[in-house]
């Protein structure tokens, strides 16, 4: 089944607990946690302490997206009873194979993300080891940006490679995803759709329901 992972980057941080309960009640599948360090991306969001304040407040799994340099130093901080995936960026990891093994050794699923300017071929040698590939469909750093259309081809490529090589990794798409384009993204091979502003702007319940409708 396809999953919807709302990004709390677009939530009201002063009401994070309430917002997470709201997406849970409305039928979201995971909480997407965008961690930014002001180095790998030109913005700072929040760290593990903020994420940990949500443990026990929701039964939803955490989908942690580390947009940080040197992620190996911080990975273990993000392992909680809610953490299902930890994703690092290919561009931030010179020893990506080791980093993926490090995440898995902590009992968490490992994801690798690629920026819009990074080709799928750079992932070739780790596809057997990862649980998920995150295709960035905006340049990471900010919510509310416009979806970059060319990135749909990357999802199709990954989906093709997955069936040709008989692999099992999931495909996630993140950035500019709306209830209007999510159907095309799923047709292209997406398993997990991340959405920030399209969920948290306006009526959260109605937004999640509209995603659900278009994800069938």
Active site residues: 34, 174
Residues 164, 158: contact at Cβ < 8 Å? no
Q: Is 172 among the residues that bind Zn ion (CB under 5 A)?
A: no
Specify the DSSP element, H or E, that contains 31. Answer: strand 31-36
Site for ligand DX5 in 176-215 (CB under 6 A): 176-177, 194-198
Residue 159 Cα distances to 95, 167, 216, angstroms: 25, 10, 19
Pick one of 145, 184, 205, 210: the residue that binds ligand DX5 (CB under 6 A): 145
The window from 70-78, 83-91, 98-106, 170-178 that contacts ligand DX5 (CB under 6 A) reads 170-178
For residue 65, state whether it binds ligand DX5 (rule: CB under 6 A): yes
Nearer to ligand DX5, 47 or 144 (CB): 144
Question: DSSP assignment of 158-173, as one string?
Answer: HHHHHHHTT---EEEE
Gap between the Cα atoms of 71 and 115, Å rounded: 16
Using CB under 6 A as the binding rule, whether residue 63 contacts ligand DX5 is answered as: no
Q: How far is the CB of 136 from ligand DX5 (least distance, A)?
A: 7
Nearest to 158 by CA among 147, 144, 146, 173: 173
* Sign of the dihedral through C-alpha 169, 175, 178, 184: negative
Binding positions for Zn ion, 20-79, rule CB under 5 A: 34, 65
Give the residues lining the site for ligand DX5 (CB under 6 A).
7, 9-10, 32, 34, 65, 138, 140-145, 174-177, 194-198
């Amino acid at each position: 089944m396809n999953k919807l992972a709302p990004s709390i980057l677009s939530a009201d941080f002063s009401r994070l607990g309430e917002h997470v309960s709201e997406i849970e009640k409305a039928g979201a599948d995971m909480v997407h946690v965008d961690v930014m360090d002001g180095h790998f991306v030109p913005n700072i969001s929040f760290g593990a302490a903020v994420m940990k304040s949500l443990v026990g407040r929701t039964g939803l799994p955490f989908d942690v997206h580390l947009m940080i340099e040197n992620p190996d130093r911080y990975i273990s901080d993000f392992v909680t009873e809610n953490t299902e995936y930890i994703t690092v960026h290919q561009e931030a990891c010179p020893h990506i194979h080791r980093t993926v093994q490090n995440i898995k050794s902590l009992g968490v699923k490992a994801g690798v993300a690629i920026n819009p300017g990074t080709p799928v071929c750079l992932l070739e040698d780790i596809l057997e080891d990862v649980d998920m590939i995150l295709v960035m469909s905006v340049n990471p750093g900010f919510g509310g940006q416009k979806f970059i259309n060319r990135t749909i081809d990357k999802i199709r490529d990954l989906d093709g490679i997955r069936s040709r090589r008989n692999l099992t990794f999931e495909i996630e798409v993140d950035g500019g995803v709306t209830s209007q384009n999510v159907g095309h993204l799923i047709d292209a091979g997406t398993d997990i759709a991340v959405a920030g502003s399209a969920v948290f702007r306006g009526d959260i319940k109605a937004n999640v329901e509209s995603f659900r409708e278009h994800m069938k």
